[in-house]
Chain A
């Protein structure tokens, strides 16, 4: 998890007077210092729902920065848009001994567009500031209040939003009228909620934590959503951009989304309707109809990020996409859905968390606005088909690693439904290679190699394939660690079926591939598919081991050796079997032939944290075996 998360920290707030606490850095408990660049001394957040269109967020936070690396953790950033008004910001900075050194207010903050440069438009803005203090440690204490005009998205509480940050004390209070009902979910919260009522009869819910150590970035950790302490809150009744609604489960939320954000946005110009009808008229198989229609949408549209419309939730009209030929994921899903409808095929608009590194699912037991991407689902009987609509190259029915194997929300006229996308198994995600190499006495390697990519590995070479032939060769050289590699021929074939396959064929040569010295020849046995570094060890690991995706690599190289030489190295023979994966690397000498066979498999899943050292050792053994060197000697 990156430190950038601090910027995503929700817009929050509370209300004590400033400047009365003792922020002497020496008061911080020594227990909190390991791996910490900054310490949250105190953070009080309160959310006060005054009305369905009036929520006051208040946060007062003090953070002590221990060294330069902690500066970014004290970076104050307040995001806002049309729905959010920043009421005030003020703050103080203290030195090591807790003495005030400077004050700041909203004028010191820079106001910028929060949109990334790749978006055509995004209306979110940010006010941000880092005070310049060169003496460490120092403490920043600030307080701000914002008003939010909607109640659909109530901010979560994430008291430790980043690595290298420890917390002395942090609390969150949610306040509302007696008739405003919420549902909440506590994830990794050590304590329990405290509920109470104020003098004015308001309900309050309070959570707090104290003395939490900083955590480190550990490789193979699950997504932060799995392990960070957080509380998520959803309203029962809400108002969003003036649209009222209510929900307590996915079925109702999905129905609200369909009725208010999606319905009646699929009408198309007559010309397009006629075209699609013609296109599919002679096809009887509905799957072929759908494929034809999807391919039409692919060649007609492309993805451009535009975040406008109701909080970025409502897709553009299908007719606009028809005219402009572009749209964001929502617009393109809606457009493809509209085209399919013309062809007589029903489909579901689905909201998903798109993420390549971690498969993220909608929380089964907690309905709220989740996800960051949209895809389309065609519920063919016994053959649910998923379509990614933002990619012109994707085969029909293939999802790839951005949205596979996770729970998504389908928004349908009958209400919301949780569905699960296609899983590609360890065996399906395959990279299989076969090579015939000839090694001569001068050390030159020549030969042919064919590699097949399947499952989510299917699109592994797409960035190379998109290039022009000359550029392809430049790029492909970076994939193979063969010294002095020259590519004489390079071809790709793609079979864009439901189980797509990419085939790469290479004819290659490499002079001085092997080192020749004094009647000996040295060369690396595996020059095509090798690991060079194991993952780093983690002492006192905290997180379970999470392997996001299983895959299989199979390599077979048949070497023809120069005549008159024999092998003096001990033949390689390594076999390892672990719960999370397996490896075998063997070398079979056979006259002047030498056959190398390698199979590497890693299995997705979550494993106990104690497994981690085993995983490191596994990879270390793989690195050793993959980097095995052969020595030949002249007879």
Chain B
């Protein structure tokens, strides 16, 4: 049997690169979040370990790795054990289709954007399983809220992505970037509206303030991952920040021209755009209060979804008029 060793090796290296980026990026984002929140609340944030607390997260990681893994006595062992994987693995897989630059993409699938949307929709099951498996009423409530929220906001999210797909005429992430060479999509009014809808829905999808009801720490003691500790908890935490990166990367690719920019190397343009969006989301998180559950649900179904549907219709009409 002729085994393509070189191809296997290259696949392995790409996998390792993605995992390394997954972990380092999440650590950087947690540090950034703590720094930004400190700035907004007029404090200093982590300062002790390393210059401006830069090594704080490495210390925290070592601490989390060494912590005891406590399983609640009444937990559903199998479900409880599987849940973090259901959250973390799809998140890593979504990185496969993110175009960091013309060359830096692991797999430019011809259904790239749909792949990212579908594989990240697996996370909701992991959240469910964590809530159910913990056998804790707060975790269960958090899991249920998360389910309702993610399923609802998935609809306007996909509809706003659809507008971009219609404009670009392709599902491939690189194809969408190339379609914006004449001008970023967010410059068109209908796509700008889609951008707005996307950002709101994506914020809800990753459970961030003002939509962090699933983990609302003041009422649910942080919801579905209350019972998790040590390495299992850090898997949820890493996946959360990786998801934040993914939604921002998709936003940058779909609406802000991805890695396009006047000067090389283009990967820097991509990262500048992505971290810009992430900083914006962090700014929102530490500025706005949390909305109520019923407000959030009715907003998704009565405002965002009809608006996104009308937007799809208008885009189709505009494109048909163009020929």
A, B from the same assembly: no
